[in-house]
Amino acid sequence: MENIVTANELKTKGISRIDEITLNGDEAIISVRGKRRYVVLTVEQYSYLRECELEAALVQTRRDLENGDTVQESVEAHMQRITSA
């Protein structure tokens, strides 16, 4: 089954077309004027991707801590550093 939904098809078939596609865990791609513009995921898929992002951030943070790639400063100094960049 094709997982691309045109904007026109979305108008006529509505969320039932999205449900058809995502039922088996696929993501629905919505195209507008022939170009892929949006991706629709189930909440479960989205939550899984967010967990992966958070895990990757945690791994990077641990690596930075191990390598000493950190800055210790006051809140004021931090705000000054990030707003002047």
CA of residue 29 relative to chain centroid, distance = 14
Place 1 in a pLDDT band, splitting at 50, 70 and 90.
low
Place 21 in a pLDDT band, splitting at 50, 70 and 90.
very high
pLDDT digits (tens, 9 = 90+) for 55-65: 999 999 999 99
Looking up tokens 């990030």 gives 82
User: Side-chain half-sphere of 33: how many Cα atoms within 13 Å?
Assistant: 0
CA of residue 25 relative to chain centroid, distance = 16
